[in-house]
Amino acid sequence: MKFNFKNTFLLLLIFSIGFFVGGYYFRGEEILQPQAVNFSRLYEAWNQIESKFYNYSSKMRQDMLYGAIDGLVKSLKDPYSDFLTPKETSDFEENLTGKYEGIGAEIGIRDETITVITPLKDSPAEKVGLLNGDKILEIGGKTTEEMDLTEAIMLIRGKAGTQVKLKIKRGTKILDVSIKRARIEIPTLDFKVLDNGIGYIQLYNFYEESPSQFKKTVQEIFKKGVKKIILDLRNNPGGYLSAATEIGNFFIKDGKVIVKEDLGDGKIQEIKSEGPGAFSDFKIVILINGGSASASEILAGAINEQNKNTVLIGEKTFGKGTVQEFISLSDKSSLKLTIARWLLPSGKSIDGSGISPDINVKMTESDIQKGRDPQLARAIKQLK
């Protein structure tokens, strides 16, 4: 029976991860066949663990399998590629619906350090004063050095009403922050018409509801005769590329490139606007800052390059310009793999470099504490 289990395990392992090590890697309908990998060392190591590890139990087999896949992904040395267990997969999918339990902060990797991308509106993270760019040195007393992003997210999340302690580095200051977790419901979009007839749209993310909410806003814009728009993408951590391109269709004329994907090996795929380009002749100001990441950077950069009446105001964006694909495995675990880099229509990569505004306006801690918004004020002045 033991021998049969091992053969079954190895077959499962080969079929589960062979696409990435020694089997086939699919891109569209193309099939690549890299050189076969010799799995004999895996057999050998598995046998040694089962026969010699002093505390071995057959109950460990599932954890060993997950550990093998996790190690495989970690060997890629990519901060945004992860293996997620079924529980982690469920939590990740819940986050993309806009509801989960935690502190309400999007985090990423910057300079090989776990970093706050943005605290979400009205979240516990925002209320205690976390800022984009804060470096997270410890979570619950555990150092984040060499910690991967998924582990950090799982440690920060937890049951509403419980506390999590973070050690933060902000510039040269070290801060200890205790945050009470809550049920987080991420807002999607706010819209209003300012006194001077400027339409103000604040997009908080590019999750499932974003395109449908935006389309309702489009109707309001035309009903109220708006011809100038402020699109606020500050502290927007991104989300689905498809959501960003659907919204981009309204700002960029039909047939023009919204984003390019660098698939490697010199292969570039273009995603073009499908129209209607309803706002392509509007005067537009886009607000950005260090919390604008991923899909929000792509949308801001694309509109700026493809619409001559657009001005970027604020601060340099986060610089997260890689594409991840979410791949479900048969036991409800999953892989999150980097499959490409995003490029602006001009071919410029934003990964690591971000997008610089046309007009740089800094928001200080004092501005935040006193409720001032010099960036929005500059945007309104630009459109008068």
Q: Which residues contact 166 (CB under 8 A, 6 or more apart)?
A: 136, 138, 139, 156, 176, 177, 178, 179
Catalytic residues: 294, 305, 320
Q: What is the pLDDT of residue 2?
A: 41
The tokens for 216 are 């309702």
Q: What is the pLDDT of residue 186?
A: 80
The tokens for 244 are 């960003």
Peptide bond into 276 cis (omega under 30): yes
Token look-up 């006193």 returns 370
Q: What is the pLDDT of residue 95?
A: 66
Residue-range domain boundaries for the chain: 2-75, 99-184, 187-383
Q: What is the pLDDT of residue 35?
A: 56
Burial classification of residue 204, based on how many CB atoms lie within 10 Å of its CB (0-12 exposed, 13-18 middle, 19 or more buried): buried
Q: What is the pLDDT of residue 328?
A: 93
Residue pair 187/75 in contact by the 8 Å Cβ criterion: no
Q: What is the pLDDT of residue 75?
A: 93
What's domain 187-383's superfamily in CATH? 2-enoyl-CoA Hydratase; Chain A, domain 1 (3.90.226.10)
Token look-up 């150092």 returns 143
Give the pairing of strands 198-203 and 228-232. parallel
What is the full DSSP assignment across 164-208? EEEEEEETTEEEEEEEE-EEEE---EEEEE-TTSEEEEEE--BST
Burial classification of residue 193, based on how many CB atoms lie within 10 Å of its CB (0-12 exposed, 13-18 middle, 19 or more buried): middle
Q: What is the pLDDT of residue 106?
A: 87
Q: What is the pLDDT of residue 17?
A: 33
Q: Is 3 helix (H, G, I), strand (E, B) or coil?
A: helix
Q: What is the pLDDT of residue 42?
A: 86
| CATH of the domain spanning 99-184 | 2.30.42.10
Give this prediction's pTM: 0.77
Query: pLDDT tens per residue, the chain (384 residues)?
Result: 444 444 433 333 333 333 333 323 333 334 444 456 778 888 899 899 999 999 888 889 999 999 999 999 999 999 889 999 998 888 777 766 667 889 999 898 888 899 998 898 889 999 999 998 899 999 999 999 988 888 898 899 899 999 999 999 998 999 999 999 999 888 899 999 998 899 999 999 998 889 999 999 999 999 999 999 999 999 998 888 899 999 999 999 999 999 999 998 889 999 999 999 999 999 999 999 998 999 999 999 999 999 999 999 999 999 999 988 889 999 999 999 999 999 999 999 999 899 999 999 998 888 887 889 999 999 999 998
Q: Which residues contact 127 (CB under 8 A, 6 or more apart)?
A: none
